[in-house]
Chains A and B, each alone.
Chain A
Amino acid sequence: MPEAARADVALALEQAHLEWGFVLAATVRVAGDIDSAEEAVQDAYASALATWPARGIPANPAAWLTVTARRRALDVHRREATARRALPKLVDPEPEPIDEQVEAMEGIPDERLRLIFTCCHPALAPEAQVALTLRLVCGLSTPEIARAFLVQEATMAARITRAKRKIQVANIPYRVPEGDELPARLEQVLAVVQLVFTTGHSAPSGADLTRVDLAERGVELARMLRALLPSDPDVAGLLALVLLTDAPASSPVVTRCARS
C-alpha cells in the first residue's frame, strides 16, 4: 500500500470511528468480556494511527480495525488462558486465521444487535443503558457522555463501570432476544435511542454543541437499527420520527408535511 498523508489518515480514522460499534461488537466474543474488548478496539485504532501513514490506508478500514482488534483480544486472552488454563464460555475457542491485508468485511459477523440488546438490558438502570449505548455502540468517551448529560465525569465513569460489572457478574447474555421476549426488549432499545435523540434535540440553542451532537448519534442509532432490523415497523417508525424532527425547517420533507 502506498504512503498516506497525515490528513488523509485522520479523515479515514474519523470515518472509521462511525464503525466503532461494529468493531467492538465483533471483538466482544473473541475477548470474552466487554472491558478487554474495549481495550483491544482502542489499541486497534491507535495502531491504525501509527501504521497507516507509512503503509497506506487499507481498502476497508473498518475490516482492518476489526481484524486487528480481534487479533489483539485473542492474543491477550490466550495469554490469560494459558495462565488460568480455563476458557470462559463466551469465547470462540477456534482462532480464525488473520490476514494482514484485509480487504473486505466478508467473514466478519455483524454482532451489533447483540451489543445493543446487551447495553439496553432491562436489568440495567435506564441511565446506565443510555450511557453504555453511547460509549460502546457509538464510541463516545466517558467525558463526552458526562458533558452531554450535564453530570460530573466521575459520576458518569462510576455509572458505566457499575453497569459493566453487573453485565459480567450477573451474566447478562450477549444475545439478541427471540420470540415473545423480542417486542418488549426492542421497545426498551427504541426508548434508549429516542432518549439519546431528544436529549440532543432539546439542548438550549447554540449553548452546548456537544448536546447537538447527541441528536446526530440518535439518528445514527436509528439508522443502524433500521439496517439491522429492516422489517420491523416500530424501528421504521422511530427512524421516520427522528429524521422528521431533525430535518431543518426549510427541508422538502418538512415543507411537504407542513403543507398537508
Chain B
Amino acid sequence: MSKYLILIFQDEAAAQPSGDSVSANYRAFMEKHAGALRGGVALENPATATSIRRDESGESIVTDGPFAESKEALGGTFLIEAADLDEALAIAREVPAGIGVEVRPVRVVS
C-alpha cells in the first residue's frame, strides 16, 4: 500500500463555503471512501495565509498571503492509502473539487 496526499484546488475568486459543517457532496465522498481515508483538512481562504520566507542571509521575513499567488488556490487536502496510483486516481477523481486535484505520493521517512 502507498499513501497519497490529494491537494484540492479551487478558484480563489469563488465564494468560500459558509458555515462550519461539511457540505453534502464532500460528506458523500468521505462516506464512500472511508476505508481509504487517513485524514484531511479544509483550509481557510488564502487571503488569511501568512508566509515566512528565508532570504539569502538566512533571515526570516514574514509576509501576508500564500507562498504562491495563483488563481488556483489550495482549499484543502485528503490523505489516502491505496494499492497503487491507479487506485489513488480513481478515488481522487471523485473529490467534488471546484477546479481539480493534484495527487502526490507521500514519501516514507523513518
Enumerate chain A interface residues (CB-CB to B < 8 A).
121, 123, 169-173, 175, 177, 181
Contact = CB atoms under 8 A, between A and B. Distances in A.
Contacts of B86: 172-173, 175, 177, 181
A172 B82 CA distance: 11
User: Do most interface residues of chain B lie in helix, strand or loop, or is the interface mixed?
Assistant: mixed
The size class of the interface chain B forms with chain A is under 10
B89 A171 contact: no
B36 to A, nearest CB: 14
Nearest to A167: B85
Contacts of A170: 2, 85, 105
Interface of B: 2, 83-86, 89, 105, 107
Given A169-B105, A171-B85, A172-B86, 19 more contacts: A121-B85, A123-B85, A123-B89, A169-B107, A170-B2, A170-B85, A170-B105, A171-B2, A171-B84, A171-B105, A172-B84, A172-B85, A173-B83, A173-B84, A173-B85, A173-B86, A175-B86, A177-B86, A181-B86
Contacts of B85: 121, 123, 170-173
Contacts of B2: 170-171
A181 B83 CA distance: 17
12 contacts: A169-B105, A170-B85, A170-B105, A171-B2, A171-B85, A172-B84, A172-B85, A173-B83, A173-B84, A173-B86, A175-B86, A181-B86
A172 to B, nearest CB: 5
A175 B84 CA distance: 10
Q: Which 6 A-B pairs have the closest CB atoms?
A: A173-B84, A171-B2, A171-B84, A170-B105, A172-B85, A170-B85
Nearest to A180: B90
Contacts of A173: 83-86
Contacts of B107: 169
Nearest to B84: A173
A169 B108 CA distance: 10
A121 B89 CA distance: 12
A128 to B, nearest CB: 15
B109 to A, nearest CB: 13
A172 B87 CA distance: 10
Contacts of A171: 2, 84-85, 105
Contacts of B84: 171-173
Contacts of A181: 86
A260 to B, nearest CB: 44
B27 to A, nearest CB: 25
A169 B104 CA distance: 10
A123 B83 CA distance: 16
Nearest to A123: B85
A42 B107 CA distance: 30
Contacts of A121: 85
A173 B89 CA distance: 12
Nearest to A175: B86
Contacts of B83: 173
A118 to B, nearest CB: 10
B12 to A, nearest CB: 26
A52 B57 CA distance: 64
A121 B84 CA distance: 13
A170 B84 CA distance: 8
The winner among A169, A170, A171, A172 for most chain B CB atoms within 10 A is A171
A1 B85 CA distance: 47
Nearest to A185: B86
